[in-house]
């Protein structure tokens, strides 16, 4: 199991954008399986998508290869295409405006550099079991803050 990758599914959800939000993750490796979720009272969907991945990577106790699935094109394009350009431009987009959610992108960049991650986009709400579970957990995150 030394080189066996961890399979991660992440999702973020928001009721209103901004509004109450939640994130959910599943992590599996061999016979090990974990689920995590939390909510925030005032956030955005993109912040929850990014937070989900950060929290998933924080759950790893040491550097591991990972196969990560998300239904967020924003996340996959950001980490695989846009991030190097943003960093080179001092965390500014092509139009010169500051990168939105730069605090989370910087945290994700730092955490992702520790692991060998394969990033995969999956269509949301399309019956992919891991994605459906991450979505359900993200919604539990929202419910966890609604009293």
- The residue range of the domain holding 85 is 6-145
Residue 129 sits in a domain whose CATH number is: 3.30.420.10
Evaluate whether residue 116 is within a structural domain.
Answer: yes
Q: Binding site, residues?
A: 11, 49, 71, 135
Evaluate whether residue 1 is within a structural domain.
Answer: no
Q: Binding site for Mg(2+), residues?
A: 11, 49, 71, 135
**Separation between Cα atoms, residue 118 and residue 68, nearest integer Å:** 6
Tell me what pLDDT residue 2 has.
60
**Is the confidence at residue 101, as pLDDT, over 70?**
yes
The residues carrying an active-site annotation are 11-12, 49, 71, 125, 135
> Which tokens go with 85?
């350009």
Evaluate whether residue 87 is within a structural domain.
Answer: yes
**pLDDT band for position 1 (cuts 50, 70, 90):** low
Evaluate whether residue 103 is within a structural domain.
Answer: yes
Evaluate whether residue 89 is within a structural domain.
Answer: yes
Total count of domains within the chain: 1
**Separation between Cα atoms, residue 102 and residue 4, nearest integer Å:** 32
Evaluate whether residue 33 is within a structural domain.
Answer: yes
**What is the 8-class DSSP label of residue 121?**
E
Tell me what pLDDT residue 125 has.
84
Tell me what pLDDT residue 146 has.
76
């Amino acid at each position: 199991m030394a080189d066996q990758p961890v399979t991660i599914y992440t999702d973020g959800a928001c009721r209103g954008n901004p509004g109450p939000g939640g994130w959910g993750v599943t992590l599996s490796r061999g016979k090990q399986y974990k689920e995590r979720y939390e909510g925030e009272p005032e956030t955005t969907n993109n912040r929850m998508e990014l937070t989900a991945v950060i929290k998933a990577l924080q759950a790893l106790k040491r550097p591991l290869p990972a196969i990560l699935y998300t239904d967020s094109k924003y996340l996959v394009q950001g980490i695989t295409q846009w991030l190097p350009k943003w960093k080179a431009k001092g965390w500014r987009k092509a139009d010169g405006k500051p990168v939105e959610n730069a605090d989370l992108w910087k945290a994700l960049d730092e955490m992702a550099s520790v692991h060998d991650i394969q990033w995969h986009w999956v269509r949301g709400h399309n019956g992919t079991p891991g994605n459906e579970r991450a979505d359900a957990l993200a919604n539990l995150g929202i419910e966890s803050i609604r009293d």
